[in-house]
Structures are given as structure tokens and as C-alpha cells.
Amino acid sequence: MRIRRCSILLLEPREETTFDLEALLGGGNGLHSEQSWLALAPHLDAPLKVSIEERELLGRLSPTEWVDTKALAGDGSTVRQLLKTGLLIARGKRHAAHRERDERLRETHWHPLAATFHAFTRWSTLDTVQGMRDSGTETPEQMRAAFGPPPVAAPSRGEASSSLSLPRAEPTAFDELLGRRVTCRNFDAARPLPRALFAQLLQRVFSVQAEVHACEDTVFVKKTSPSGGGLHPVEAYLLVQNVDGVAPGLYHYHALDHALELMSMPTLPLREFAMQAVAHQHWFADAHVLVVLAPRFDRTFWKYRHHAKAYRVIALEAGHLSQTLYLSATEAGLGAFITGAINEVPIEQALGLDPVRDGALAICGFGWRGEAMETAELDPVGAVWEAAAER
């Protein structure tokens, strides 16, 4: 049988510390620490513990050159174990599942560190709200008590005497719009969003404004946000909850056709799926529309192959789209949000995304603001809440 090492593999010496009652009763600090080697291979779902023998063999095998297992006769049981876990790749039907995932990783041209980071920072069932409750870090006061003071809000650099004061400009309508951009955590779930407003926002933020055909099959596009290489890899998948004339459900937004493509319903009821997706942040789960920002990594990595900055660029692009959405929503009298605290795994399962090629990076959303601020928003000058009360 011919084998080779998987394409991307990082080895981490990890210390795991657990509470040990016996250690405490014996007069120690009650903590038991264990060291082990973990293999982080992004074509697999989880890190794997490896033995010293496995680690050594992985270091001897090439990720590109196939070798015959006959040449590794002395390492038979180690080879078998590594084949079973998928860290070694073999030809033949029995090993097809791991080999195909490894092939997809090779074909997508990931930078190895980015691929590893992406694969092992995904969540499945996290409840961030419970997490903050458990750690007693829900309010700024609790955070201050638990963590001490944060680094200052605006640091000074250089000599104070060389500081050059700048003139402040008179505010324009654009400044007023920027001032009203406040992350919305209070949506009015009872008030449907008009279909025309919903469509206008999607057109402004996610639709293709113009196409550039470099060759027949090589098309770059223009949108209202910037994108590395003009590739625009970030797809918008919509979880529509409360829009007039649009049935609640999951949709893919077709950026050229400006059209919704209906996807299968998730296995959970839609509101529960929304809660799971935003890691139980109930203040976002009521939004009229949630938008999963899901980049097609293969489109950007087509140009920026094994590129150290490409993943970072894609994350920045998601941020740009979010800001355009915030401003478009604000201009339309709506609230908007973004969250990076998402459970990617169930989202990808529901949308049929393979995180090697594409995957959820963040969720943003928009809708009508509620009448009352039940969950805190950062509106210190009252641009949204005091202004609404005065109206």
C-alpha cells in the first residue's frame, strides 16, 4: 500500500490541567497537569493525541511523495494507527474519506497556519451568555472586578510637547448618520419588515453593482464594499424571520441576480436555530433578518495561494460588509448588528457548507428597533434612544 502524510499538520505540546481532589487532600494545590502531543490537522474535525512514535514517523514522511508501506515494515502498528485517524493518507477505497478531505484542502491553497486556525476555532454548542454568567463578566463593573482595568482607551505616543492639535470639522449629514450607527440589541419582533426595504438593503450591501469580464470565465465584480483582488468571496445566507411577503426560512442571496434562493429548513425551529447560531445571544436572535457571512475561501485563494495574509483579508472584508450594512440600515431607520460569537458547525451543517472551501465567519443582521432598551446598547450621546424618546 502506498501512503503519504496529510497535507497540513501542526504538532502542539499541550498541557492539560484538571482538578484532582487527592492532590488537594495530599497538601498540594489540587491541580493535576498532564503533557501530551496533539496533532492539529485541519482536514480532521478535532485535534488528536499522538504518541512519540507516531510523532516521529509523521516527521519522517513526506506530504507529497507516496511511499510503499513495505519500506516501513518496522513501524507497522504505528502506520496502521495513523491511517485509522487520518493523519496518514492512503490510496484505495478504505481510506477514501480522509483522502478526499485532504485533497480538498490541497486544492483550496490554504496557508497552513490560517487553515489550522480556521479549523480549530469553530464552535458547535457554545452558549456565550451562560459563559459570561458563569464567569461573572456580564457587566462592565463585573469585568473590571474580574480582570482589573483594561489598557487605556486612547494611548499617547511620543513627547506630549510635540502633539499637534487638529481642527474639528462642523458635522455634516454624514456625521449625523455615523452618529446614529449603534449596534442594535433590541429588535421589535412583532413588527414585520417591509419587503421593499429588505430588498433595498440587500441590493445596497450584498449585490453586484458591476461586472468586469477579464476573460469569458474570469469575472471580477464591484460591490459597495472593498474586496481583496475584487474577488468578493463573501456569500450572504439569510435567515429570514419577519419580512412581509417572504416566508420565514433560510435563503442564499444571489448577488448577480438580486434574488433569494430557498434552502432546506434547519432541523430545529427557525428561532431556536437562530439562537444556536448566535451562541444564545437572545438579543440578536429576534432580528428580522440574520445574515451569515460565509466566504468562499477557494475564490480568494485562487489568486492568493498559500498566502500569509489572505485569510486576514477575508475577515476584514466581512467587517467592511458589516459596516456598509450598519450604515445602510441606519439610513433606513433600522437597527443592525454583527457578532463573531457564532456556532459555526450547526450553521455549516444547515447550509451544506464545507469549512475547507467555505464556512461561516460572522453573523450580522437588521430589523426594526424595539420601543424599549431591554438589553444594553452603547449610545452615550443618546443619538438613537433619546432622539426616539423626543420624537
Ligand X SMILES: Cc1cc2nc3c(=O)[nH]c(=O)nc-3n(C[C@H](O)[C@H](O)[C@H](O)COP(=O)(O)O)c2cc1C
- 303 to 2, 46, 118, 300, 328: CA distances (angstroms): 32, 29, 19, 6, 30
154 vs 164 by CB, closer to ligand X: 154
Minimum distance of ligand X from residue 340's CB (angstroms): 4
Q: Minimal distance in Å, beta carbon 301 to ligand X? A: 22
- Which CB, 169 or 378, lies closer to ligand X? 378
SS3 133: helix
Residues in the chain: 391
Q: Which stretch binds ligand X (CB under 6 A): 42-50, 57-65, 248-256, 332-340?
A: 332-340
**By CB under 6 A, which span of 44-52, 216-224, 306-314, 335-343 interacts with ligand X?**
335-343
**Single-letter amino acid, residue 248:** P
- 382 touches ligand X by CB under 6 A: no
Strand ranges in 87-228 using DSSP code E only, listed in sequence order: 88-90, 210-215, 218-222
- Tell the smallest beta-carbon distance from residue 362 to ligand X (Å): 6
Q: How far is CA 71 from CA 2, 7, 51, 68, 342, in A?
A: 10, 21, 21, 6, 46
Residues 268-327 that bind ligand X (CB under 6 A): 281
| Residue 341 found at the interface with ligand X (CB under 6 A) | yes
Longest dimension (CA), the chain: 82
- Least distance (Å) between residue 208 CB and ligand X: 24
How far CA 5 is from CA of 8, 43, 63, 106, 359, in Å, comes to: 8, 12, 4, 12, 25
Question: Could you tell me which of 208, 209, 263, 255 has the C-alpha nearest to residue 239?
Answer: 263
Residue number, 160 or 378, with CB nearest to ligand X? 378
CA atoms of 221 and 219, how far apart (whole Å): 7
Number of residues that bind ligand X (CB under 6 A): 9
Instruction: Could you list the beta-strand ranges (E) of 296-370.
Output: 335-339, 362-367
- Judged by CB under 6 A, which of 338, 351, 356, 360 binds ligand X? 338
Strand partners, 246: 243
Taking the least distance from each CB to ligand X, the nearer of 79 and 285 is 285
What is the spatial distance between Cα 264 and Cα 267, in angstroms, rounded to a whole number? 9
357: closest CA among 112, 116, 85, 115?
115
- Say whether residue 350 binds ligand X (CB under 6 A): no
User: Which residue, 24 or 376, has its beta carbon nearer to ligand X?
Assistant: 376
Q: 103 or 379, CB closer to ligand X?
A: 379
From 21, 169, 214, 378, residue interacting with ligand X (rule: CB under 6 A): 378
Report the site for ligand X in 137-196 (rule: CB under 6 A): 182-183, 185
C-beta closer to ligand X: residue 123 or 220? 123
Tell me which of 108, 186, 242, 339 binds ligand X, using CB under 6 A. 339
Residues that bind ligand X (CB under 6 A): 182-183, 185, 281, 338-341, 378
